């Protein structure tokens, strides 16, 4: 599997590399990094030929967007595709305020506040452009509207749909850690793509029930995030391993250990298997793993090129560790 192969992302018309860069870690997720290191992460991805960068105002209360902006400064704008998110605006934070940034270290003095209104979205876009230091954004995701479906479909969706109609953006999307509401968006709106975080991986494939076939039917391209499920498939099933942004529960640790045991028997890197498994489904256009380490960007690149024997996938099916209807790489 070649990470530089390009595929059209749903109905956006944008040709994206199969491997992109997720930028939540650049906002200080689970530990901060220097400005120089953050810039190097972005520049390493671009130097390798990756062309999709995904960020959000939430990630470190604007810190990730600013660091992405520093990383792409001076780079030809047509050489990369930039996605960010709407649904939260950043308000000044006062001492004692809950900044809603528990997993982000050293956030600036702002707090993200849900706002899926038309005006809130337009404000969010303008502020993101300023933080990124660019003149356009290619894809806008409605971000985490789990408890705000009606506000999102009545406010945020018409706002970004209008920007698409005006040619300001190319992709109308939603980005979530659940598949059920994305399926509802697919049925009720005209979406080009989705960001699905953590809900289609070696550890779970329930999105096969409805979302993924619906996206194939409607030509909605999926950017898959969280293919390591917050790190448990990257760092191992050990005490303190993360799953879905929290400590992994026992049943997830047990399944991860079973997956890793099969991988060991076939001399397969579980991270390579996790990355390639997601991309085997026709609905999934690309993966966007996040990292704070430039060398991890290079590693993610190399993982897609690793050869994985068919016997490995066959044993996963035989052991009921992946679903029978889950496609696997050739």
Q: Quick one: CA dihedral 275, 243, 107, 55, positive or negative?
A: positive
**Residue 130 to residue 175: CA distance in whole angstroms:** 22
Q: What is the pLDDT of residue 195?
A: 98
The per-residue pLDDT for 245 is 79
Q: Is residue 296 assigned to a domain?
A: yes
Number of domains in the chain: 1
For the CA atoms of 36, 42, 44, 47, what is the dihedral angle to 10 degrees? Answer: -130
Beta strands in 66-120 (DSSP E): 81-86, 88-92, 110-114
Classify residue 287: in a domain, yes or no: yes
C-alpha count within 13 angstroms, C-beta hemisphere, residue 236: 4
Among residues 32, 59, 157, 255, the one annotated as catalytic is 59
Statement: the pTM of the whole predicted model exceeds 0.85: yes
Burial readout 219-244 (b: 16 or more C-beta within 10 A, e: otherwise): ebbbbbbbbbbbbbbbeebeeebbbb
Tell me whether residue 325 is in a domain.
no
324 annotated active-site: no
CATH code assigned at 180: 3.20.20.100
Structural domain range at position 76: 6-318
| pLDDT digit string (tens) for the chain, length 330 residues | 999 999 999 999 999 999 999 999 999 998 999 999 999 999 999 999 999 999 999 999 999 999 999 999 999 999 999 999 999 999 998 876 766 668 899 989 999 999 999 999 999 999 999 999 999 999 999 999 999 999 999 999 999 999 999 999 999 999 999 999 999 999 999 999 999 999 999 999 999 999 999 999 999 999 999 999 878 888 777 777 888 878 888 889 999 999 999 999 999 999 999 999 999 999 999 999 999 999 999 999 999 999 999 999 999 999 999 999 999 998
330 inside domain? no
**Are the CB atoms for 54 and 225 separated by under 8 Å?**
yes
Is 324 a member of any domain? no
With respect to residue 245, please indicate whether it lies within any of the assigned structural domains: yes
Residue 328 within any structural domain of the chain:
no
Name, in order, each residue with C-beta under 8 angstroms of 69's C-beta and a sequence gap of 6 or more. Answer: 131, 132, 133, 134
The DSSP 8-state label assigned to residue 39 in this structure reads H
Of 138, 56, 153, nearest in space to 101 by CA: 56
CB-CB contact of 146 with 181 (8 Å): yes
Instruction: Mark whether 54 is an active-site residue.
Output: yes
Our answer to whether residue 85 is catalytic in this structure is yes
In whole angstroms, how far apart are CA 267 and each of 71, 181, 311?
36, 38, 11
**How high is the pLDDT of residue 102?**
80
The pLDDT assigned to 315 comes to 98
In the set 54, 138, 144, 192, the catalytic residue is: 54
- The pLDDT, as a whole number, for residue 15 is 98
- Neighbouring CB atoms inside 10 A of 6's CB total 16
Q: What is the pLDDT of residue 123?
A: 98
Residue of 63, 66, 80, 85 with catalytic role: 85
Q: Does a structural domain hold residue 327?
A: no
């Amino acid at each position: 599997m070649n990470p530089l192969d390009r595929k059209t992302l749903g109905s956006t018309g944008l040709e994206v590399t199969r491997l992109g860069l997720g930028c939540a870690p650049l906002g200080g997720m689970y530990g901060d990094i220097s400005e120089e290191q953050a810039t190097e992460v972005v520049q390493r991805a671009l130097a390798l030929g990756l062309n999709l960068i995904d960020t959000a105002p939430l990630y470190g209360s604007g810190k990730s967007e600013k660091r992405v902006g520093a990383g792409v400064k001076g780079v030809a704008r047509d050489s990369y595709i930039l996605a960010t998110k709407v649904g939260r605006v950043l308000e000044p934070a006062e001492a004692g305020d809950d900044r809603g940034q528990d997993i982000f270290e050293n956030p600036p003095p702002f707090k993200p506040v849900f706002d899926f209104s038309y005006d809130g979205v337009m404000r969010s876009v303008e502020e993101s452009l300023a933080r990124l230091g660019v003149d356009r954004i290619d894809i806008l995701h409605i971000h985490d509207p789990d408890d705000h479906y009606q506000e999102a479909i009545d406010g945020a969706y018409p706002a970004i749909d209008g920007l698409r109609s005006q040619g300001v953006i190319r992709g109308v999307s939603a980005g979530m850690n659940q598949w059920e509401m994305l399926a509802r968006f697919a049925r009720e709106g005209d979406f080009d793509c989705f960001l699905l975080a953590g809900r289609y991986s070696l550890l779970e494939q329930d999105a096969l029930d409805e979302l993924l076939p619906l996206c194939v039917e409607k030509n909605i391209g999926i950017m898959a995030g969280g293919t390591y499920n917050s790190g448990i498939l990257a760092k191992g099933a050990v005490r303190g391993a993360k799953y879905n942004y929290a400590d992994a529960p026992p049943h997830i640790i047990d399944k991860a250990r079973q997956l890793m045991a099969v991988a060991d028997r076939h001399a397969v890197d579980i991270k390579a298997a996790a990355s390639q498994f997601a991309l085997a489904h026709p609905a999934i256009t690309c993966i966007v793993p996040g990292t704070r380490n430039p060398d991890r960007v290079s590693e993610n690149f190399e993982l897609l090129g690793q050869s994985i024997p068919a016997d490995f996938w066959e044993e996963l099916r035989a052991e009921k560790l992946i679903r029978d209807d889950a496609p696997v790489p050739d």
